[in-house]
Amino acid sequence: MDIHEFYMQRCLDLAIKAIGHVAPNPMVGCIIVHNNQIIGEGYHQQYGKAHAEVNAINSVAAELVYLLTESTIYVSLEPCSHHGKTPPCADLIISKKIPKVVIASNDPNPLVAGKGIKKLLDAGVEVVAGVLKNEADFLNRRFMTAHLKHRPYVILKWAESSDGYMAPNEPEQVWLTNDFSKKLVHQWRREEQAIMVGKRTVEIDDPELTVRLIEGRNPARVIIDRSLSLPASKKIFHDNASVFVYNDLKEQVDGHTHFIQIDFEQPVLQQVLKNMAVKNIQSVIVEGGPATLQHFIDENLWDEARVFTASVKLGVGKASPKITGELLKEEWIGDDKLKYISNTSV
């Protein structure tokens, strides 16, 4: 690892702290280095608040501010060049006369997309780009997918028995995984903007789809209910998060519940994901049931799968989805095996 990669890794370590707090903005970390010493660092902590570059510059001690004109600033994403909720970070870097900028990823947002780098170069700032680019792109895979594919990043999640079943044949709720795995799932929910389940799952399990086992924000809930047959008493309609109900009867907002009319004669999931993208929802975790999950797989509308295999056997039941992809890693959560699978065909 060369010196640029060493410092950029610190930027990535800072950036990941913001997961679940800055969407639809990207996670960004930034450090300022003078003579191989870090004199400032920061990250984008909350949507609408100061960007990483601002926090890093503001963290430099007053007696060291004069060193900025001799320093290198490392940032994990191309500095913004437009006025949004905050002023352009490229302008800030130029105003502080920082002579060199090292960047990991280019920003795919059309409002930036190379304009930040161009602005720096035009001002005489030296720019080094592409340092740990793959790692930085993966960190911001939700943001990248939203801007490059115009749909949310789709994470499929399910738990299966050791003999390959998700649930019994009879309509009853059965927990397969242990308490540690359940808590981890709630952490994942906090990290994504939306959560989706099938209508049948709501009818049988009546899930809350919250992060109640940890602290944090509940994701928006997404459900496809063509004829609007689900009763309002179901927990998915509780007012602790927004709800998006895709149907073919009405387009209406009723408090926190958004009824969105789509054409069921056309590909449904593509319409749902496109509409979510328009609403600036950059990630969704799909938690079942097996038919809903298999539809995403069959239509190749998924990016990542997280599959728990419990020690319990069911003997018979509803078979788990059939999926192929690149196994990223395996780990044990107590006595549950957890596999992370990447879709390499999208």
| Active-site residue flag, 53 | yes
Closest Cα to residue 289, out of 184, 174, 178?
174
Collapsed DSSP state (helix, strand, coil) of residue 312: coil
Distance CA 200, CA 344 (A): 29
Instruction: Compute the Cα dihedral for 323, 326, 332, 338 and give only its sign.
Output: negative
**187, 189, 193, 195 alpha-carbon torsion, rounded to 10°:** 180
Angle between helices 52-59 and 3-15 (to 10 degrees): 110
Rounded-to-integer distance, Cα 338 and Cα 43, Å: 30
Give me the catalytic one of 41, 53, 160, 304.
53
Token pair of 32, please? Answer: 């300022």
Residues serving a catalytic function are: 53
